[in-house]
């Protein structure tokens, strides 16, 4: 009997339904797989014989009513009936179920605790999806870090299977061992587990054991503890590079000048702090900085004009950019709901064309108002007079110059569809709460002082079936 069930549990599609008939009554179980391919058991219904009348026809109706929502009439899902006892009630119940599903497979199971048996068989079933350890690796073309899956177990692996993987710990505080399930090439379906391993910096050969579907253990690591941080928070700590990046860097600071003198001063304060960090930490090669001030468009006049952004300085040293920053003056906001940020992107796209191909480029936008759209929409914000399409311009900059963009807003947006989320894809901060050190790291301009990773590291030449 257990062999029949084991084969069905290993091979069923979306679900497997098991009905248990014994001396006490009828119980119906359902086995499904979750999004990570892990099977799980649910007890869906139960009825004792006193609740089912002795009449064969009435038992038939009662069982059909109990099973109608649980046992599909179609043949797609397998259905197994385990008969644990004989008698009039049991035989009538069996007839009812087999009439409801003529293809039902009937298995004799006298004296067997079915629920425990099913749980044991599920725990011993082979994997449906591959399991990988998530590691960080440097891309061959530019040295940027990427997260890949280091192979642990293939589909079909059985509990008790072991795997050996060698990785490097770069952080004195240890590293996270994150196991992911994969449905196929380039298709990770999600995290199975994340544990913190308090290991010393250096190379480590780890032994992984598949305990059961959904559970991977790493024996031999004292003090291994689950890590409960959101995965997005973990990946946000991964620097752009582990080693110092090659080639020059160029930071474009776009600062909205529309508003009061106090508002402009607060915006320029953080730009100045960032320039000071770059001037102190980056020397060979020294990064280039551009300062661009922008205001608001003028609408509703007889002869409208298209004012260009104020390029205070372009591709200068951080010290010269600091002087140019102080030359910005507040301007009167002529339109309250948007600013000429799209013009800044257009100007930046034009001016960046001559720079070397290996230049690391970053855009920091500091302001209050989002850009104008290329055409009027439901929000009734008037379109840019030059009809610049800011999402297309930003996408072009990212693709052509591998640009990273961050934003500092006077007030953080409440709508998830706000353009500020797109403009601040690397980092989005409010003007009164900015971590400048983290901002320079997120923009790819400065590396963490330790250049450490919270995840295991593997070098580019260690190719053992990594999945990107």
Q: Compute the CA torsion angle 143, 448, 429, 194 (nearest 10 deg).
A: 80
DSSP, res 51: G
Q: Integer distance in angstroms from the first to the last C-alpha of the chain? A: 42
pLDDT, one tens digit per residue, over 186-204 is: 445 588 999 999 998 888 9
Tokens representing residue 410 in the block: 């006077």
- Cα torsion 158, 160, 163, 169 to 10°: value is 120
pLDDT digits (tens, 9 = 90+) for 14-66: 888 888 888 888 888 989 998 888 999 988 877 787 765 554 455 556 666 66
> How many whole angstroms separate alpha carbon 194 and alpha carbon 293?
45
Chain centroid offset of residue 305 CA: 45
- Tokens representing residue 379 in the block: 């929000």
pLDDT of the residue at 46? 79
Give the helix/strand (H/E) hosting 21.
strand 15-21
Q: In whole angstroms, what is the distance from residue 45 CA to residue 58 CA? A: 18
The values of phi and psi at residue 206, to 5°, are: -100, 140
What's residue 468's pLDDT? 52
Name the stretches of the chain with pLDDT < 50: 55-56, 185-187, 450, 464
CA distances from 266 to 273, 314, 328 (A): 11, 22, 12
Q: How far is CA 214 from CA 38, 60, 122, 165, in A?
A: 6, 39, 11, 19
Alpha carbon distance 75, 13 (integer Å): 12
CA distance 94 to 91: 5
The DSSP call for residue 303 is S
**Are the CB atoms for 311 and 286 separated by under 8 Å?**
no
**Spatial separation of the C-alpha atoms in residues 365 and 255, rounded to whole Å:** 6
Q: What is the pLDDT of residue 186?
A: 41
- β-partners of residue 327 are none
Q: Residue 24: its pLDDT value, please?
A: 85
pLDDT of residue 242: 72
């Amino acid at each position: 009997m257990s062999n029949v069930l084991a084969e069905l549990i290993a091979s069923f599609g979306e679900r497997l339904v098991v009905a248990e008939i014994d001396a006490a009554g009828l119980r119906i179980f359902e086995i499904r797989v979750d999004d990570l391919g892990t099977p799980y058991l649910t007890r869906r219904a139960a009825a004792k014989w006193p609740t089912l009348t002795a009449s064969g026809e009435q038992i038939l109706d009662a069982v059909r009513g109990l099973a109608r929502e649980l046992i599909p009439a179609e043949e797609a899902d397998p259905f197994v009936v385990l008969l644990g006892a004989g008698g009039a009630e049991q035989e009538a119940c069996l007839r009812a179920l087999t009439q409801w599903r003529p293809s039902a497979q009937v298995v004799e199971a006298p004296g067997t605790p079915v629920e425990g048996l099913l749980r044991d068989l599920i725990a011993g079933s082979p994997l449906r999806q591959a399991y990988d350890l998530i590691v960080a690796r440097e891309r061959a073309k530019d040295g940027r870090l990427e997260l890949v899956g280091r192979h642990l177990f293939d589909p079909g692996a059985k509990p008790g299977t072991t795997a050996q993987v060698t990785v490097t710990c770069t952080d004195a505080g240890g590293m996270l061992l994150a196991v992911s399930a994969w449905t196929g090439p380039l298709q990770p379906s999600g995290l199975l587990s994340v544990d913190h391993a308090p290991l010393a910096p250096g190379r480590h050969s780890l032994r992984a054991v598949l305990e059961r579907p959904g559970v991977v253990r790493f024996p031999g690591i004292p003090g291994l503890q689950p890590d409960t941080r959101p995965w997005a928070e973990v990946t946000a700590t991964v620097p752009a590079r582990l080693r110092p990046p090659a080639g020059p860097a160029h930071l474009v600071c776009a600062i909205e000048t529309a508003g009061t003198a106090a508002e402009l001063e607060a915006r320029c304060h953080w730009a100045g702090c960032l320039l000071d960090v770059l001037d102190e930490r980056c020397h060979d090669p020294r990064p280039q900085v551009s300062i661009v001030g922008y205001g608001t468009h003028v609408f509703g006049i007889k002869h409208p004009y298209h004012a260009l952004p104020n390029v205070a300085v372009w591709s200068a040293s951080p010290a010269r950019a600091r002087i140019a920053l102080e030359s910005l003056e507040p301007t009167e906001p002529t339109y309250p709901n948007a600013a000429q940020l799209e013009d800044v992107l257009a100007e930046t796209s034009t001016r960046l064309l001559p720079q070397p191909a290996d230049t690391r480029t970053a855009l920091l936008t500091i302001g209050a108002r989002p850009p104008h759209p290329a055409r009027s929409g439901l929000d009734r914000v008037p379109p840019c007079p030059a009809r610049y399409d800011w999402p297309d311009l930003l996408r072009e900059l990212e693709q052509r110059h591998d640009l990273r963009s961050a934003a500092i807003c006077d007030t953080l947006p409440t709508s998830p569809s706000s353009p500020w989320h797109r403009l601040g894809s690397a980092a989005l901060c409010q003007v009164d709460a900015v971590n400048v050190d983290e901002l320079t790291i997120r923009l790819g301009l400065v590396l963490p002082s330790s250049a450490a990773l919270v995840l295991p590291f593997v070098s580019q030449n260690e190719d053992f079936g990594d999945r990107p």
